[in-house]
């Protein structure tokens, strides 16, 4: 899966200028919206999601490429990650949504964006899904909802995603929704007793809008 990122990396602050401010969003993070798709509801994460989120991380295969953790998270770590999800919204640097499969409201995964830099109109996306729900197109559907929010509501110009080298499924998902593999961060992080390389993916607003227009014409 894609790294949480914001747990370990801090965004730098820059002084704004008039040209950059002209195209900035008016979204102020006061209320986290619920995003509805055909099958899914992406809703704010709450403390009540603790056990379900823990079950996601303990499901088979989820942690194979999620290197934020050295082992399966336990109760204290889950509480810290819920704190992180609340904090990035309060700091206006990201939103993490719980993924629920309609009509139920139970969390089966999460997705969202973090490391949002308002002046540069840039953010990084991340996601994970309980392995019982893999290969159903659920994460594709959820990711598309996040992209629509980021480009249309938040007004970003660029979205990024870092994927641990070898995670072919996550790379295929990103390509499917329009991302381009831009390069490799060679041995960028030290986790699980070894240096790990990261694939850097990127998607620009003009590319996203061109894909949307092509889909509308199809």
The pLDDT, as a whole number, for residue 3 is: 54
Pick 32-217's CATH classification: 3.40.630.30, 3.40.50.2000, 3.90.1300.10, 3.40.50.150: 3.40.630.30
For the segment 37-59, the average pLDDT, to the nearest whole number, is 97
59: pLDDT confidence band, cut at 50, 70 and 90?
very high
pTM: 0.88
**pLDDT (tens digit, 9 = 90+) per residue, 1-21?**
565 543 433 333 333 444 445
Q: Please, are residues 202 and 182 in contact by the beta-carbon 8 Å criterion?
A: yes
Q: Give the range among 12-21, 68-77, 150-159, 179-188 with minimum mean pLDDT.
A: 12-21
The pLDDT, as a whole number, for residue 14 is: 35
Alpha-carbon radius of gyration of the chain = 17
Domain ranges (residues) in the chain: 32-217
pLDDT score of 132 more than 80: yes
83 vs 57: CA distance, rounded Å:
17
171 vs 103: CA distance, rounded Å:
29
């Amino acid at each position: 899966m894609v790294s949480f990122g914001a747990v370990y990396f801090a965004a730098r602050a820059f002084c704004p200028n008039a040209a950059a401010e002209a195209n900035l969003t008016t979204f102020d993070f006061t209320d986290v919206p619920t995003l509805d798709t055909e099958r899914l509801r992406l809703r704010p994460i709450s403390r009540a999601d603790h056990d379900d989120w823990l079950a996601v991380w303990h499901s088979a295969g989820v942690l194979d490429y999620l290197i934020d953790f050295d082992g399966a998270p336990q109760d204290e770590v889950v509480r810290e990650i819920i704190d992180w999800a609340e904090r990035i919204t309060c700091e206006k640097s990201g939103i993490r949504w719980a993924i629920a499969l309609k009509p139920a409201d139970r969390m089966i995964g999460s997705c969202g964006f973090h490391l949002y830099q308002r002046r540069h109109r840039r953010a990084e996306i991340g996601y994970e899904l309980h392995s019982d729900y893999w290969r159903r197109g659920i994460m594709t559907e959820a990711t598309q909802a996040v992209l629509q929010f980021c480009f249309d509501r938040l007004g970003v110009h660029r979205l990024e995603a870092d994927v641990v080298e070898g995670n072919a499924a996550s790379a295929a998902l990103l390509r499917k929704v329009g991302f381009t593999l831009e390069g490799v961060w060679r041995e960028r992080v030290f986790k699980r007793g070894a240096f790990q390389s990261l694939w850097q993916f990127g998607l620009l607003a003009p590319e996203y809008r061109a894909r949307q227009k092509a889909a509308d014409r199809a």
